[in-house]
Structure 1
Amino acid sequence: MASAPGSGRSFPYVSFLRVYEPLDAFSDAQQLAILEQRTRERHVTEDLDRVDALRRITRLVSDPFPHHEPDLVRVLHYPRSNGTTAPYYCPNQLAVRTSLAAESLEQTIRGPLMDVLLPEVAREAQQARLDPETLSESTAKLHTRSATWGVPFSWFVLIHEDDLTDVVDDDGEVHTVRVAVTISECIDRARRAVASLAIAAPELDLLEDLTELTEWLELFRRDAVVELDYGPVADLVFPDESPMDVRMGIECLAEADMTGAAAAYRRLASRWIPIRQLARAS
């Protein structure tokens, strides 16, 4: 189905894997914040997120952290078995996610460049703004994962081509594609893939990624909904057969069909390696 597009593009390409839960899965304080935002259109939320990100990275003083802005909440209306839809909610948890991203960056970049990108005074101010108890709870249960320059192959295990799909486009340009499915189905799919790979190809990085992904999904209630949001990279790959290729590759490995597994990987590689190479393009 199609939705009204948001404005602008993110660059580099960023994709998201989100978990949405019912209102009563959240604390009283979180519920109040959610209720204030539950009627907002999804494209408006995405625009607000983009504008805020641009404002943070273009400050006169280098400081990409959010300050005291209210956290955004995304709303997903997912079909019930009786033909109606129910609302599910995903808090952005931006303060915690940016803090974790900064910690990850510190592991890869050191010295003067780190001080330019993330000055120590900005990092200290960010820590002072965070409530230790809230930080601990949010870190243990992050609702959003992100990936740049493509979609991790492990994410494709969670979705099938017949899952609920929302194509957000305008004048032939695909702004994003969002695929939603119940978390219980995602966990079942991931567990089956883990069981197959553990026997057929225990050395694959995909097995480790899927095991960790399954553990993350198991943190949430079984009535939650998972959404894969391709982001603007969807315009380069949609319609995308990656979920089927990953599934067929795993099935071929389980059946010791190396030819079939290699063919599935070649299809994936031809689709995604050129996109990932953009990360190193000048």
Structure 2
Amino acid sequence: MNPLAGGAQSFPYVSYLRIYEPIEAFSDAQQLAILAQRGRERHRIDSIEHEQSLRRILRTLSDPFPHHETELVRTTHFPGPSGSTAPYYCPNQLAVRTTLAAESLDQNLRGPLIDVLVPEAAREAHQARLDQDTFADSAAKLHTRSATWGVPFAWFALIHEDDLTEVVEDDGRVQTVRITARIGDCIDRGRRSIAHLAVAAPEMDLLDEITEIVDWLEVFRRDAVVEVDYGPVAERVFPDDSPSDVRLGIESLAEADMLGAAASYRRLASRWIPIRQLARAS
């Protein structure tokens, strides 16, 4: 049975945008960690991550930070420049990501709630555990982004429906869908969308979101690959036409075809707004 089944499908829905690089892109220490886990199957990595998150949530004292947990590394296989399939790796960087998430929470929440969710003592202990020599480099080159309650439309601007797609199923149910593409293609697609929106709809939030993502992609090697991992929300939307709807909507705006743009948005809205409304459901 797939370990993703059952508890790993609990709310909220979380989707991921990941960057995978060849092993030579990493430091010697990172390469050793990668080699130690290269035989571990992808579903096992997901299961371990889920188990660790539950343990952090169920602690007696509120403390959302990892405590000396082994750095997990995901592996994907993708055709390299020579045409033969090669492994690519994405480190989880959990300690850095939780630090940045706590800082974001601190900026957006006020009053006693932040101290309940992320107590000062837990933050200080987490800072003491961090390796300050590598923290800045890891923070500047995060390999993973996440989103709750749906895949951001800006992510769909990076991928096409004919990109490499993996549908993960268990007992007839879709557990997740992963779409993978070369980073150079994703950057080109993002830039094309930026150029169209800058002229046709400069006021759209989507323009800023795609611009920010393309800037992030530029940090990585050109032989990296990009993965959009729907997570459990895939069961509600797959098969999904969102990549083509986003592309057609942007192209329609560039051609001043307001009817075409409106039709694309209606299709996207009918698919994703009900899912995002779950965030406010009681």
TM-score range, shorter chain: over 0.9
- Corresponding residue for residue 225 of structure 2: 225
The letter of the residue matching 1:78 is F
The letter of the residue matching 1:166 is E
- Corresponding residue for residue 259 of structure 1: 259
Output the CA distance in 1 between the equivalents of 2:152 and 2:135: 26
- Equivalent residues in 2 for 1:96-115, closer than 5 Å: 96-115=96-115
Deviation at 1:113, TM superposition (A): 1.7
Contact 2:21–2:88 (8 Å) recurs in 1:
yes
Contact 1:5–1:169 (8 Å) recurs in 2:
no
- Corresponding residue for residue 133 of structure 2: 133
Task: Give TM-score scaled by structure 2 length.
Answer: 0.97
Indicate how the Cα distance of structure 1 residues 138 and 81 shifts in structure 2: closer, same or farther if over 3 A, else same: closer
Name stretches of at least 5 consecutive residues in structure 1 with no aligned partner. Answer: none
- Equivalent residues in 2 for 1:59-208, closer than 5 Å: 59-80=59-80, 84-208=84-208
**How many percent of aligned residue pairs carry the same amino acid?**
71
- Equivalent residues in 2 for 1:33-48, closer than 5 Å: 33-48=33-48
Output the CA distance in 2 between the equivalents of 1:273 and 1:157: 18
SS in 1 for 2:115: helix
Deviation at 1:125, TM superposition (A): 0.5
Query: C-alpha deviations, 1:154-202, integer Å up to 9, x for none?
Result: 0001111111001011122111000000000000100111111111111
Deviation at 1:132, TM superposition (A): 1.9
Query: C-alpha deviations, 1:222-249, integer Å up to 9, x for none?
Result: 0000000000000000000000000000
SS in 2 for 1:178: strand
Output the CA distance in 1 between the equivalents of 2:105 and 2:14: 17
Output the CA distance in 1 between the equivalents of 2:250 and 2:259: 12
Query: Which moves more between the two structures, 269-278 or 131-140?
Result: 131-140
Contact 1:73–1:89 (8 Å) recurs in 2:
yes
Output the CA distance in 2 between the equivalents of 1:274 and 1:86: 39
Query: C-alpha deviations, 1:109-150, integer Å up to 9, x for none?
Result: 222222111111001111111122211001101000000000
SS in 2 for 1:123: helix
Task: Give TM-score scaled by structure 1 length.
Answer: 0.97
Indicate how the Cα distance of structure 1 residues 5 and 166 shifts in structure 2: closer, same or farther if over 3 A, else same: farther
Query: Which moves more between the two structures, 76-85 or 193-202?
Result: 76-85
Contact 1:21–1:90 (8 Å) recurs in 2:
yes
Note the aligned Cα RMSD (angstroms).
1.3
Contact 2:163–2:181 (8 Å) recurs in 1:
yes
Query: C-alpha deviations, 1:59-86, integer Å up to 9, x for none?
Result: 1111110011111000001123655310
Contact 1:4–1:168 (8 Å) recurs in 2:
no
Number of aligned positions between the proteins = 280
The letter of the residue matching 1:37 is Q
Output the CA distance in 2 between the equivalents of 1:33 and 1:26: 10
Name stretches of at least 5 consecutive residues in structure 2 with no aligned partner. Answer: none
Query: Which moves more between the two structures, 125-134 or 247-256?
Result: 125-134
